[in-house]
Amino acid sequence: MQKLADFIWFNGKLIPWDESKIHVMTHGLHYSGAVYEGERAYSGKIFKLREHSERLIYSAKNIGLDFDYSVQEIMDICNLVIEKNNLQNAYIRPLVWRGSEAIKMYHDTLTTNFMVAAIPSNPEFRQDIRLNIGKWRKMDPRSFDPQIKSSAVYATAVLMLKEAKQQGFDDCILLDLDDNIAECAVSNIFFAKGKSIHTPVVGSFLNGITRQFVIKMLSEMGFAVEEKKISLNDIDQYDSCFMTGTAVEIAGVAMIDTGSNVQNFSNPIINDLQKKFAKEVGKICESECAKSF
């Protein structure tokens, strides 16, 4: 990958970006023995760093990784990485994975590795997102805890996203096994009509840190937020639809193509939501915002 920052923190020390190499026999690559986070820094401060660090530990522990960093240690490392790379507005990627000591599915010699990378990023807010519906569903939550942010579950999202983009969409909606809307590939989804906001009930999808923050923000703004089951047959009652997540921040959906129907959203509230979100997280988004994320 092209060099996007000077240093990566890798198993205990900062090393130059180009020297951050691992072996092809890495267990995390073969058997998805890896968990990760995605975080954003705004003006040098990482948004919800504690929550992300806690989730990384939760994820590592729940796929059985021996990961013994404390929340404070992880936070210090993430802060060090943006500081040493002189980053103000950035995307941060902590990753924990099983090493390359054995090819067996499980072996007690497998080590746990930890790296934190960060790259400059401050995208412009989107209001023009076009969604289709992924043909693969979210996994049964009895098969894998959806609150674990593990590479093991991203195959569905990556494939559905690839297909959506190849068909001219920006992202896709993933349904759960009961035909309810769950989320988008790597972000949560909300619908609104007037002051009333609906978002799917957490069950089969990741309860995003941004989602939880936005629900509080919306309540403070005087919206009534309700978590409820939403199917594709329900979406024509809404005038707004938006996505939340570390990558998209808060993005307006202009259109959903369900396959049998095209639903457009005028999104009368999205400007206010993005303005408030930017203020709350400390995002300064003028000329330096790149569309490149």
| CB of 206 vs ligand PMP, minimal distance in Å | 4
Q: Which is nearer to ligand PMP, 87 or 182 (CB)?
A: 182
| CB of 227 vs ligand PMP, minimal distance in Å | 15
Q: Which is nearer to ligand PMP, 210 or 267 (CB)?
A: 210
Q: Which is nearer to ligand PMP, 2 or 143 (CB)?
A: 143
Q: d(Cα 31, Cα 29) in Å, to the nearest integer? A: 6
Q: Under a CB-based contact definition with an 8 Å cutoff, are residues 191 and 230 in contact?
A: yes
Chosen residue from 59, 210, 267, 274 binding ligand PMP by CB under 6 A:
210
Label the pairing between strands 171-175 and 129-133: parallel
Helices (H) and strands (E) in the chain, counts: 6, 16
SS3 226: strand
Residue 99 makes contact with ligand PMP by CB under 6 A: no
Q: Under a CB-based contact definition with an 8 Å cutoff, are residues 244 and 211 in contact?
A: yes
Closest residue (Cβ) to ligand PMP? 208
Chosen residue from 206, 217, 250, 269 binding ligand PMP by CB under 6 A:
206
| CB of 291 vs ligand PMP, minimal distance in Å | 19
Within 109-138, the residues that bind ligand PMP by CB under 6 A are none
Which amino acid, one-letter code, is at 111? T
| CB of 281 vs ligand PMP, minimal distance in Å | 12
Cβ-Cβ contacts under 8 Å for 107 (sequence gap 6 or more):
101
**Which of 175, 240, 177, 185 is CA-nearest to residue 214?**
240
* Binding residues for ligand PMP (CB under 6 A): 38, 149, 157, 183, 186-188, 205-206, 208-211, 244-246
